[in-house]
Amino acid sequence: MRDEQFKQEHPVMNEVAQTYVDLYTHRRDEKTLQQLLKRGAKLHEKLEKVLAAKPAG
Q: Using one digit for the tens of pLDDT, what is the confidence trace for 20-51?
A: 888 777 667 778 778 888 998 998 898 898 88
Using the Cα atoms of residue 32, residue 34, residue 35 and residue 39 in order, give the sign of their dihedral: positive
pLDDT at 1 over 70: no
Q: What is the mean pLDDT of residues 13-23?
A: 85
Return the SS3 of 55: coil
pTM equals 0.47
